[in-house]
Amino acid sequence: MSTPQTHILEYDIVVVGGGTAGPMAAVKAKEANPNLKVLLLEKANVKRSGAISMGMDGLNNAVVPGFATPEQYTKEITIANDGIVDQSTVYAYAQHSYATIEELDRWGVKFEKDLTGDYAMKKVHHMGTYVLPMPEGHNVKKVLYRQLKRARVAITNRVVATRLLTDENGAIAGVLGFDCRTADFYVIRAKAVILSTGAAGRLGLPASGYLMGTYENPTNAGDGYSMAFHAGAALRNLECYQINPLIKDYNGPACAYVTGPLGGFTANNKGERFIECDYWSGQMMWEFYQELQSGNGPVFLKLDHLAEETIQTIETILHGNERPSRGQFHARRGTDYRTQMIEMHISEIGFCSGHSASGVYVNSKAETSVPGLYAAGDMAAVPHNYMLGAFTYGWFAGRNAAEYVSGRELPAADAAQVEKERTRIFAPLLRDNGLPPAQVEYKLRRFVNDYLQPPKVTRRYEIALNRFAEIAEDIEQLHARNPHELMRAAEVGFIHDCAEMAARASLFRTESRWGLYHYRVDHPQRNDAEWFVHTELYKNDKGEIAHRKKEIEPYSIAIDTEEGQAYNRLRIKKDEAPEPQAA
Amino acid sequence: MPFIPTEIALRSSAPVTIDHDKCIGDKGCTVCVDVCPLDLLAIDKSTGKAYMQFDECWYCLPCQHDCPTGALKVDIPYLLR
Ligand SMILES: Cc1cc2nc3c(=O)[nH]c(=O)nc-3n(C[C@H](O)[C@H](O)[C@H](O)COP(=O)(O)OP(=O)(O)OC[C@H]3O[C@@H](n4cnc5c(N)ncnc54)[C@H](O)[C@@H]3O)c2cc1C
Ligand code: SF4
Ligand code: SF4
């Protein structure tokens, strides 16, 4: 390996993470002002990076005129997220959702349409109709790449961002990182930074024990959560974990959203439906968990009652897009949808606002609490935002960052911050021996499972904090033999930060909420009198993790008490369970 | 004499395999190396062919899908199969 170089670059805006939200942000910043110098910085390669690297099966939350209004959607998400929502952020998404779909459509993303050319919307949520299938959704990344080129966005692949630079007023001044192939150090000065590094997908260890067998694309180790925290940004409701119902071992979505509208459903070992609605929520996961633990487990996805034609349609979609290795997995296990139900399990825990509500605080302009720092996508705290929310908030972030940087000087890069980070990042490469990153990661994530996986027990969480403190010492002993291992070593640091934040956030909220996501055994009741608030995690003067309560914005769309209970009654009562239909 | 730190390598069977007759890495192709989100693939300097360097596969398939000659096959990693 040649000696690592240092590259000092200057841009108006740097977008960190080129998966879903990032490319949209970069394109929209350039569209707002083509003279801006905009860099898209990516740890992988923007051609095939992020959650949608192979495409997507559908939009989970499309607000399409004629099917739903922004008001209805905002109400649904407020209820699905147990009321802990700043409606202005969800409403801003909902209002813009259709414009985003039309833009993607113009760019060449294919959505399902009916014979009259209208979007073929499907009902999956408990109350409204929001799912738009994309059976030919495999070209999304190609479409985005074309737009990046057209808008002349600069792209740097294979650089891992590790810390943000701030100026003397605490505003953003740039990004630091390194190349995961050469270990070159990057000092990128910028007037604004947009973080779109996705979920914290490597927090828990999948039940398989395989480190990279995660639900999320494992490039997303929680990098953005950690960088935002260290830069002084506030994070919200991190105790509202992401936990998903997945295909056992394969750990990809079973795709009730795809199969549901075609007649498939989640069933127990008797082949019976036990939940009314397959839309992922904490309450749904609670019922799923109960069924798994009971004599009625395991839980399955049931398709074996469907007609041959329907099964073929399902296979074409599920084995072609999103997680296309799924067909191979089933074939090897001899699982045929026609004759067998598909065994499911629950995922490892993670942070993700795209699926639940744990993220970096943003307002409806995608601004975080740090001037010049924007966040979009899974890591930005807009509940249940999914892919279309990532695109839409990416759009907001790009447009608003372009406005923020206009007329601003490039802030100075603080030499002390740069040198401190250089020392921190490269230490594992300079040691002659030490702990292998994969082993430390394994142990850390096993502790996450042992102690943090809900149901949350206070005593377990206290032990977890002790174990995490020991791992912090191990991190000082990491040894990387090459730049690739250096990337994994840096990620262990991100995962460690997220693990500690998960533990502390969960201990702070002394009530139970969001079904399984935050079920605290020692505080089993929901307590609206004290906890109808956001929990906000921030870095205090000593550099430690601290918490405070933040008021929920007054609702602009009222929720009546009866409606508010909708997601609390997902379990089907025994005598009401419909018989599975014959094929 | 202090105790000398030593390491033991863990064996793992690579889920990604290459058909050397089809791979045109020796003619300058690096498509699979470029697209892998986890940066696991490389060209072996001695053979000029692609190979899996790190065992951290997400079985996501861009490498197999984008390979121009069909030289690359992804199996589900053994632990999940
Ligand atoms: C398996 C799966 C199925 C899904 N199915 C659906 C669906 O059917 N419908 C739907 O609406 N939503 C679905 N979602 C959710 C949706 O895909 C996400 O909400 C959305 O794509 C998130 O976009 P993002 O930009 O936040 O993250 P990503 O698209 O994951 O992008 C994050 C990017 O940041 C990069 N990065 C990370 N760390 C760094 C760093 N330190 N430095 C530089 N770059 C970095 C990563 O490499 C990655 O490219 C699914 C998600 C998954 C994982
Ligand atoms: S993409 Fe295919 S042909 Fe090209 S280097 Fe990889 S395996 Fe070889
Ligand atoms: S399947 Fe995905 S993670 Fe595995 S080698 Fe191919 S591109 Fe990389």
Cα separations in angstroms, A122 against A55, A75, A105, A108, A459:
19, 18, 18, 21, 44
pLDDT of residue A277: 84
Is A71 within a domain? yes
Rounded distance between C-alpha atoms, residue A201 and residue A350, angstroms? 5
Q: Higher pLDDT residue, A278 or A3?
A: A278
A·B CB contacts under 8 A: 82
To the nearest whole Å, the CA of B16 is away from the closest chain A CA by 13
Q: How many residues does chain A have?
A: 583
Give the residue from chain A lying closest to B42, CA to CA. A181
- Residue B29: inside a domain, yes or no? yes
Residues of chain B with pLDDT under 70: 1
Which of chain B's residues have a Cβ under 8 Å away from the Cβ of A249?
A: 80-81
CB distance A329–B81 less than 8 Å?
A: yes
User: Which pLDDT value is given to residue A578?
Assistant: 46
Q: Are residues A233 and A252 in the same domain?
A: no
Whether residue A276 is contained in a domain is answered as yes
Residue A105 lies in a domain: yes
Q: Are A251 and B80 in contact (CB under 8 A)?
A: yes
Q: Which residues contact A480 (CB under 8 A, 6 or more apart)?
A: A428, A429, A437, A486, A488, A489
pLDDT in tens, A384-424: 999 999 999 999 999 999 999 999 999 999 999 999 999 99
**Residue A261 or A36, more confident:** A36
Residue A573 has pLDDT above 80, yes or no: no
pLDDT in tens, A421-467: 999 999 999 999 999 999 999 999 999 999 999 999 999 999 999 99
Through-space distance between the first and last CA atoms of chain B, rounded to whole angstroms: 47
Average pLDDT over residues A101-109: 97
CATH number, domain with residue B65: 3.30.70.20
pLDDT of A332-383, one tens digit each? 999 999 999 999 999 999 999 999 999 999 999 999 999 999 999 999 999 9
DSSP code string of A30-73: HHH-TTS-EEEE-SS-GGG-STTTT--SEESS---TTT--HHHH
Say yes or no: CB of residue B52 within 6 Å of ligand 2: no
pLDDT in tens, A135-175: 888 899 999 999 999 999 999 999 999 999 999 999 999 99
Cα B20 to ligand 2 centre (Å): 9
Same domain, yes or no: A220 and A94 = yes
The whole domain housing B43 covers 16-74
Spatial CA neighbour of A232 closest among A368, A347, A63: A368
Q: Report phi then psi at A377, rounded to 5.
A: 90, -160
Report the alpha-carbon distance of residue B42 to residue B48 in Å, rounded: 10
Domain identity same for A186 and A67: yes
Rounded Cα–Cα distance for residues A189 and B1 (Å): 48
Q: Which secondary structure element, helix H or strand E, spans residue A507, and what is its range?
A: helix A483-508
Domain with A431 in it: what CATH number?
Answer: 1.20.58.100
Closest-CA distance of chain B to residue A220, Å: 10
CA distance linking residue A17 with residue A122, whole number of Å: 31
Say if residue A137 is in the same domain as residue A65: yes
pLDDT number for residue A216: 97
Q: Which of residues 243-302 of A touch B (CB under 8 A)?
A: 249-251
Q: How far is A215 from chain B (nearest CA, A)?
A: 9
CATH number where A271 lies:
3.90.700.10
Average pLDDT score over residue span A251-260:
85
Is there a domain that residue B9 lies in? no
Choose among B7, B35, B76: nearest Cβ to A328: B76
Report yes or no: A49 and A69 within 8 Å, Cβ to Cβ.
Answer: no
Q: Does A238 touch chain B (CB under 8 A)?
A: no
Last residue of a domain, one of A366, A390, A413: A413
Residue B29 Cβ < 6 Å to ligand 2: yes
pLDDT at A1: 56
Q: Ramachandran region of residue A543, left (φ > 0), alpha (ψ -120 to 50) or beta?
A: left
Structural contact between residues B58 and B39, judged by C-beta atoms closer than 8 angstroms: no
- Tokens 């934040």 locate to A501
Q: Is residue A371 part of a domain?
A: yes
pLDDT at A583: 35
pLDDT-derived band at A581 (thresholds 50, 70, 90) equals very low
Q: What is the pLDDT of residue A294?
A: 92
Domain assignment present for B32: yes
Q: What is the gyration radius of the CA atoms in chain B, in angstroms?
A: 15
A143 in the same domain as A79:
yes
Cβ(A296)–Cβ(A260) under 8 Å? Answer: no
- Domain membership flag for residue B81: no
Asked if residue B79 is part of any domain, the answer here is no
What is chain A's mean pLDDT, rounded? Answer: 94
d(CA A275, CA A224): 35
B5: closest chain A residue by CA:
A433
Contact A530, A551 (CB under 8 A): no
Q: Is the per-residue pLDDT at A576 higher than 80?
A: no
DSSP classification of residue A448: I
Least confident residue range of A166-180, A317-331, A435-449, A516-530: A317-331
Domain count, chain B: 1
The interaxial angle of helices A87-107 and A386-405, nearest 10 deg, is 100
Ligand that comes closest to the CA of residue B43? 2
Record the pTM: 0.96
Distance A221 CA to ligand 1 centre (A): 11
Task: Work out how many domains chain A is built from and give that number.
Answer: 3
Buried b or exposed e, range B8-18, using 16+ CB within 10 angstroms: eeeeeebbbeb
Note down the domain range covering A354. Answer: 6-200+214-242+350-413
Query: pLDDT at position A582, please?
Result: 39
From residue A569, alpha-carbon distances to A77, A80, A275, A566 in Å are 16, 11, 9, 6
Residue B10 domain flag: no
Contacts of A484 in chain B (CB under 8 A): 39, 53-54
Q: What percent of chain A has pLDDT over 70?
A: 98
Say which CATH number the domain at A10 has. Answer: 3.50.50.60
Residue A290's nearest CA partner among A518, A515, A566 is: A515
Q: Kindly tell me if the per-residue pLDDT of A113 is higher than 80.
A: yes
Q: In percent, how much of chain A has pLDDT > 90?
A: 88
Q: How confident is the model at residue A575 (pLDDT cuts 50, 70, 90)?
A: low
Assigned token pair, A309: 């034609």
Say if residues A567 and A283 touch (Cβ distance below 8 Å): yes
> What integer pLDDT is reported at residue A2 of this predicted model?
67
